[in-house]
Amino acid sequence: MARPKFYDLNVHTAPEGKNTIEEMVPLAKRFGYAGVAVTDPSNSCKPLRSAVTDGFEIISGVELSPENASKLHGLVGKYRQMVDVVVVRGGSESINRAAVENSNVDVLSNFGSMKENGLNHVLAKSASDNDVAISFDLYDIIYLRGGRRVKALSNFRKDLSLVRKYDVPFILTSNARSLYDLRAPRELMALASLFGMTREEALHGLSVVPQRILARNCPPANYVMDGVEIVDPSEGGCDQ
């Protein structure tokens, strides 16, 4: 089997995070990632452009934290053309709902782990229909201790059962805010196994789903639209 290509689609850099992308890339490379998406908040700085250096992909992204649901659609429309990965930082019920109903959103993160705002069957179904990935932010499991981590783990377990039932796409991310928040893909898999995620599922969330998101947003050069293909007339693609 070919080596899977791992991606972390939710990494923050300076000034929002503590380290610049130049500092973080060597470590991500060392950990065996094929690429990271830099998802800084829309108000902190202009999103950078996607680039590939020495086989490592730096993917442009943005993290939107809209004040209310109606602003979300405007923001998504504005950034969709500029970046490859659109992450919405959820929180309130209405923003979560609007995000999973907008198929231009790639990832919904921080959708709340408290009882009132967490993932529910309605959101899960909608996310599945619109192909919006749910992100499991393992940052909490690394840094929280005691009761709050217990709560985070049990919420993730509950979310995972909904993800399985409705076949919701999901990604695993370290949600790194500094160099020392990054974790290697296998360490993230181990953390995800704490709340019952299998190795295959974790692999899916670290490799398959991110690649699908990227393929959708960085189409090949001769792409027109879904189901349409440019046929080279010299090859006699269609007979007259």
Collapsed DSSP state (helix, strand, coil) of residue 56: strand
The kind and range of the H/E element at 8 are: strand 6-11
Q: Which residue, 143, 133, 156, is CA-closest to 210? A: 133
Among 18-26, 102-110, 126-134, 206-214, which window interacts with other proteins (CB under 8 A)?
A: 18-26
Residue 238 CB partners (closer than 8 Å, separation 6+):
231
Instruction: Tell me if 31 contacts other proteins by CB under 8 A.
Output: yes
**Which lies closer to other proteins via its Cβ, residue 29 or residue 73?**
29
Q: Which residue, 164, 220, 213, 163, is CA-closest to 61? A: 213
Per CB under 8 A, the list member of 122, 194, 215, 231 interacting with other proteins is 194
Instruction: Tell me if 191 contacts other proteins by CB under 8 A.
Output: yes
* Bond into 41 cis (ω within 30): no
| Count of residues in contact with other proteins, rule CB under 8 A | 27
Instruction: Tell me if 38 contacts other proteins by CB under 8 A.
Output: no
**Which lies closer to other proteins via its Cβ, residue 70 or residue 198?**
198
**Which lies closer to other proteins via its Cβ, residue 49 or residue 71?**
49
Site for other proteins in 138-167 (CB under 8 A): 141-143, 145-146, 149
Instruction: Tell me if 27 contacts other proteins by CB under 8 A.
Output: yes
Measured CA to CA, the distance from residue 209 to residue 205 in angstroms comes to 6
Pair type for strands 33-41 and 107-109: unpaired
Instruction: Tell me if 179 contacts other proteins by CB under 8 A.
Output: yes
* Binding stretches for other proteins (CB under 8 A): 22-23, 26-27, 30-31, 141-143, 145-146, 149, 178-184, 186-191, 193-194
